[in-house]
Every structure is written in structure tokens, then in C-alpha cells.
Structure 1
Amino acid sequence: MDAILPTKDTIVKLTKEQFSKVRVLCWIMTAPMNLQKKAWHVRATWTKRCDKVLFMSSEDTEFPTVGLNVTEGRDQLYWKTIRAFQYIHKNHLGDADWFLKADDDTYVVLDNLRYLLSKHDTERPIYFGRRFKPFIAQGYMSGGAGYVLSKEALRRFVEGFRVGKCTHFSSIEDLAMGKCMEAMGVEAGDSRDKKKRETFQPFTPQNHLNKVLGSKQSWYWGYGYYPAIEGPECCSDLAVSFHYISPEEMYVLEYFTYHLRPYGYQYRFSPDSPQNMTEKTMTLKTDLEVLLT
């Protein structure tokens, strides 16, 4: 007897119900000089899919931005991060389950981020991003690729400064963040997909795909917690983020991610399928995925 497959509408409804339980607050690190040339384009593209979005700057503006009472400059990035998470903890802790930090030149695919986070409990102290390995035992997450804290991780970050376990010991934002996370018992999570491909990318798609990341002696090759790969296997089919994205490229990624589809294409990657699935079960999974195209 042939299997009765659920309709596309049913699958979409179930997917939306699942994702509605994964509430993500996105905060974007920006500056007054970047509001029109960068932040405006972030607001016009991927952040529309966040449950809540906040643009964090040194001063309040009508953009709108949240002024964090810090001066501008690269040496102030960690102060911005500290003040931003303290502000969110005080004012928006109940508005989301996960708390994403991204730069104003980072593009994030929220659907894929929600899929990743749906596998984890926000009350567990954990955070995700592109994991680097130097200087900290458990590694730390690349600031440019963006990173996302569980609710418990956010609580512990703020608590760390209250009790003195975390300090502004370095102006290097992502490294200092990672040191605090480790000190507060927050796990550096593995964000790779089932095929061990990275989901958070510290560079543009063309950099990762076209093998232009420099010689094997460059910093990039020594920083990865997991082996770095160039070319088509560099990045997951369910990639979450790319960094150093220009305003023009924001709209290109928006189009390629949410609009462009080759006619008749059938998506066959089943991220939740164990490798030892029977051929019959795999075929059924594929048929279900076809309904979503």
C-alpha cells in the first residue's frame, strides 16, 4: 500500500509551528557613520525575519539605535558588546529565547539559524558561531561571523561581570567574549551540520568557495577549531552567516536565498537523516522535501 504523504500546506504549518518556538532577538553592532551605508541595508534585508531587532551604537538616533554610552573605535567593540548584552538582559530577556550578535556587514539566514537552534535547549548554557581555537581551551566564536547565546548563556554573561569573573581584559571582542563564556561555564557549541560542514562563515561566499583565502600560513588556517575547507564543501547547505558583505551583496544574498529556484529542482539533502537510513525511508524523506519546493 502506497504511503499517504502529508500535503505541502501541512508540512509548512508544522515547520512554522516549530520555528515559532525558536524566538531570536538580533542585535546589530553599528556606528553613527555606518547607519546609512551599512545598517540601513541590514534592516532592509535579513533582520526582517528576527523576532526582535536592535541596532546598538554609541548614541541614540532616529534610525533607531540604542545608545550604549561608549565611544567609537575598534578598541571599544567589547565595551559595546558588554553594554549591549546588559541592556538586553535588563529590557528584553523575556522577548526571545536566543540572542544573536552580528556586525553591520554580516548576512544571516534566520531560517537556518532557527533550524540549528531548534535542536537545543535555551536553558542550557551554550553559544554557537564559527569556532576558533587559539588562546582559550574550549575555543571561542568569531565576532564577524556572528554568534548566538542561549538565554542561560546571556544570564551567565551578565552575572560574570557582576561577580567579577569576567572583566574587560582585552579590546579583542570575540576573544574576550569567549574567555568570559568559559569562565562562566558556558559551552562553546558545535554548529557544523551532519556532514561536518561549517554554518557560520567569517568571510564572503566567494572567498570560501573560490579558494582565495590566502596561503596556508595565513591566520585563518591556524584559527579554525575544526579543519578548514575551501571550495564547494566549505559551507553547509544550511549555512547561517557570511561576513564582510557589502550593501550590494546583501540584496544579492537575499535574492539567491529566498527567491531564486531552478525549475524542477528537487532538494535531496536530509539533515536529520541518519547515514544508515534504508533506501525506502530515504525516498520517502525525499518525496516530502519535494512537496516543499
Structure 2
Amino acid sequence: MRINLSTVFFVSGLCIGFLSIQYFVYSDPSIADPAVLSLGNSSGVQYDRGVPRHIHSDEDGSVAANLSQKVRLLCWIMTGPKNLESRTKHIRATWAKRCNKILYMSSVETEFPTVGLNVTEGRAQLYWKTIRAFQYIYQHHRNDYDWVFKADDDTFVVIENLCYTLSKQDPEKPVYFGRRFRPFVHQGYMSGGAGYVLSKEAVRRFIEGFETGKCTHFSIIEDMALGKCMETMGVEPGDSRDVKGRQTFHPYPPDKYLIKKPPRKRPWFLSYDYYKPREVSIAYP
């Protein structure tokens, strides 16, 4: 039987590559051990036991560490009992570690741990969850934050980028940031899809709004209703775009932003954007 030399070379390459990877991995215990708890730097970020860590020994983490000290960010995740294993635990194992404080808000208290808000599950209860979550945070943690970031349990966030944006802002001013939508509220509102972040003063005014009756649970549309309360209480929507005018909060899956077949009808969600998209003209050969 004739042996194909190209097949021999291909199989040999696979074997050599596999053995090389095994050698480098197991020669460094810190890479092979999935139970390492600390990053091994001054950031103070802790890892869950059993969650492998990624090693970037040549990276300078001083900027991120300084931002973490400068911007006190409390994050809270809106979740539910059915999503703890399929969604929320992955947030806990990844980006939530970068928040100065993290809280998981649910309808019931669990050992996850979640904070029980004593509401029923369902889309119609989302604004009640949001109201009670902010009330809980203000009651128990008002001295623990400068900014409060709210996200759903299907959101991924680069916390360092968020903190960099917030580091240029004053948490004592009534302002909040997110993906600004245009309809329904005169000054616009922040979409809940990618999360939104309230300054310390914005949180105080939100709580005051419900204590005084200026804000009410008038709609089940959570992000729009919160935006209306922000407007009523004099909280301004901030501009979260970067220095080049690009959006930084993305409330839809990545494929929604990709052009599949030109020409196509303008996506409906772009009509919600407060800021007009910057078009690019391409000349086809």
C-alpha cells in the first residue's frame, strides 16, 4: 500500500504541535491549575475556585487598577431563578469580577447569592424589579458607590472601558449614560438592552421621585419608564459616544449591526437612536 507523504507530514505536525502545547502548559503550574484564586497583581480582583484564569504576564494592569480605585462602580444584574445556571453564573465568572461591588437581583433570595425583591417573574414585572433593586441599593449600599450600573443577565461588559468613560464624569451631578434612544421621552432615554449607569446623584433623585410621588410605575416598559422618571427628576442623559463619535453601548446582538446584502431596508432599531449614524460611502469597482 502506498503511503501519501503529505498525509504523513500532516499527522506528524499534529502530533508535534499537540505535544508542544502539553509541554508548555504542564511545565507552568499556574497555567495548569484551575483553582488559582488571585490574579497575582495589585488589582485586588479575585477569581472563583474552579474557574481557569488567563495569563497575560506581559500586560500592564496599572491603568485598570487605578481606574478601579478612582471609579467606585456598583454593578447589579437583573436575573431570575431559571437563568442562574445558564446565564448568570457566567457573568459572575467573568466581567462581574471587575466591578467594585456586584449584586444579583432576583424575585427570590438564593445561595447563588441573589437578593430577593419579593416580586413575581415575567416581563411585566421588570420595572418593579428595577425600582426595588435601586431602593435596596440606596438603603443598604449608598456609601459604597459613585456610579451604579444595571445590566440584564445576557449582557457582556468591558468594565475597564466603562470605568474609563466614567472617570471623566462627576458622580455628584445628576446624569446617566447608556445607548440613548429618541422616542417616547422628550430628552430621550437609555436602552436597557446594553445596560445603563446612573451617577450617585441620579440614584438619589430616582429614589426621591418615588418617595414624593413624582415618579410612578406607569408602564411595564422598564427602560423607557426609568427614562421618564429621570427627565421628571432633572437627571440629564449623558453622551456615551467615544472621541470619534462611535457608540459604546450596543443593545442588540452583533449580527444586527452587520450589512448582509446591499441594498437593504434600514433596520427599524436605527430609527430609535438619538444620534444619527455616521454613514460611510464605498465605491465598488
1:181 equivalent in structure 2: 230
**Cα displacement (A) at 1:210:** 4.7
1:143 equivalent in structure 2: 192
1:155 equivalent in structure 2: 204
Structure-2 separation of matches of 1:219 and 1:207: 11
What TM-score results when the alignment is normalised by the length of structure 2? 0.73
User: Contact conserved, 1:210 with 1:230, CA < 8 A, in 2?
Assistant: no
The reply to whether residue 95 of structure 1 matches residue 147 of structure 2 is no
Query: Comparing both chains, which one has the higher relative contact order based on Cα–Cα distances under 8 Å and sequence gaps of 6 or more?
Result: 1
CA deviations over 1:36-66 (Å, ceiling 9, x no partner): 1111111111101010100000000011000
Distance 1:63 1:120, change over 3 A: same
Aligned ranges 1:140-289 → 2 under 5 Å: 140-210=189-259, 216=265, 218-228=267-277
**Cα displacement (A) at 1:19:** 3.8
1:51 to 64, 88, 100: 100
Tell me the secondary structure at the aligned position of residue 143 of structure 2.
helix
Structure 1 residue identity aligned to 2:86? K
Tell me the secondary structure at the aligned position of residue 229 of structure 2.
helix
When Rg is computed on C-alpha atoms for both structures, the one with the higher figure is: 2
CA deviations over 1:155-190 (Å, ceiling 9, x no partner): 000000001110000000000000000000000000
1:33 equivalent in structure 2: 82
Distance 1:167 1:45, change over 3 A: same
Distance 1:216 1:23, change over 3 A: farther
User: Contact conserved, 2:68 with 2:100, CA < 8 A, in 1?
Assistant: no
**Cα displacement (A) at 1:18:** 4.2
2:33 equivalent in structure 1: none
CA deviations over 1:76-102 (Å, ceiling 9, x no partner): 000000000000000011111100000
Give the total of aligned pairs. 221
Structure-1 separation of matches of 2:234 and 2:196: 17
1:125 equivalent in structure 2: 174
Identity %: 65
Distance 1:218 1:44, change over 3 A: same
Judge which range, 51-60 or 15-24, deviates more: 15-24
Structure 1 vs Structure 2 CA RMSD = 2.1
Distance 1:190 1:218, change over 3 A: same
User: Contact conserved, 1:211 with 1:230, CA < 8 A, in 2?
Assistant: no
Distance 1:12 1:60, change over 3 A: closer
Structure-2 separation of matches of 1:136 and 1:190: 16
